[in-house]
Chain A
Amino acid sequence: MTDNNKSEEQPRRSWLSRFLLPKITPAFCLRFIILCAIAYGFFGYLCIPAWTNGKSMEPVYKDGTFLFCWTPAYWSRKPRPGDAVMIKYGGTKVMLLKRIVAVEGDIVEFRKGDLYVNNEKVTARWNALTPCDWELPPRTVSPGHVYVVGDNRAMPMDEHQFGEVHTSKIAGVPLLQ
């Protein structure tokens, strides 16, 4: 009996059947392990899946939004004002999502709800998404730090986590905005 005859005896399986119930061969196992390793590296270190929990970045990022943290974002450039960033918050599983409003050396303050950086009122679109009545005396951002604030400034200032953070704590930027 030839090989051709053998293959004729076994009915050819559909692509769906082959996809869902593949033959477990050493080659398949090797491909599977390589794929798992690539997925682990990509989604574990480069493009980390995350859910937002809280309202501090509304209306841009609503509570419960699914997004990815793209960690290579600052490999080739420095963080700059207007960037939404994800900040490591005691470990890698929990991150804060905030927006950079000032970088090192800048003077930041809130006057009657308006954000001033270096004594100039910030007029960028990302700065006026919600009504605000915050008052914060001027402070200078320390070297190696950035100043981050959430977009939802309709919240009372005391309930809002914001301030300066070292750039080494920035994990990346959110994807899927």
Chain B
Amino acid sequence: MKNTIFTILLVLAIAIIAWFVFKPDEKKIVQKRLDDLCEAVNKQGEENPVTIAAKNLALGNLLHENVTINVNEFPFNGSHSSSELTSLATQGRAYCKYINVHPQSVDILIQDKEATIQTVFKIKLTTNFKGDYNEIRSFVFKLIKTDKKWLFTSFEDQQILKR
């Protein structure tokens, strides 16, 4: 009898854990969008035109019609259309031999049809002219759900330490 109860409890516990792990969740969808963004930006050596076009398309599909950028020391802060931003990203990627953007910490907050991602990125770049860049930076991204798709609408960096 004891063993039966124990087995039932064990099965129930496993089922509850499995439900929490595998249930479809908006946070996981938003997390996937962030992973897709990193994938679209990353670059492992020289790319052929097909790869460049595919990455452009992937990036364009992630962005809202109007995207606001507010990043310290970034020369293109302000409001941009998704096509403008895709074009800027393509030019920027062309200046680099290697790009690795990896989220080290991700906190997602969803309110109705708006999502906020607070993330810390480890950024490694090898540029064609100015050498290597290796930094950890904190960002806040905002997304809006439009036509059942989460689209990035704002990119901001966070200054934790103020000189």
Contact = CB atoms under 8 A, between A and B. Distances in A.
B35 interface: no
Contact of A96 (B106, B118, B160): B160
Contacts of B98: none
B148 to A, nearest CB: 28
Q: Which of B107, B136, B139 gathers the greatest number of chain A CB atoms within 10 Å?
A: B136
A94 interface: yes
B163 interface: yes
A171 B139 CA distance: 19
A91 interface: yes
A148 interface: yes
Interface residues of A, number: 23
For the residues of B in contact with A, the DSSP-based class is strand
A98 B161 CA distance: 11
Interface residues of B, number: 18
Contact of B106 (A29, A91, A139, A163): A91
B75 to A, nearest CB: 17
B163 A93 contact: no
A151 interface: no
A91 B158 CA distance: 12
Given A26-B2, A53-B136, A93 B105 contact: yes
Interface in A114-142: 136, 139
Interface in A36-74: 53-54
8 contacts: A29-B6, A87-B160, A90-B105, A90-B119, A90-B120, A91-B107, A162-B161, A164-B163
Interface of B: 2, 6, 10, 104-107, 118-120, 136, 138-139, 158, 160-163
Interface of A: 26, 29, 53-54, 87-94, 96, 98, 136, 139, 148, 161-165, 169
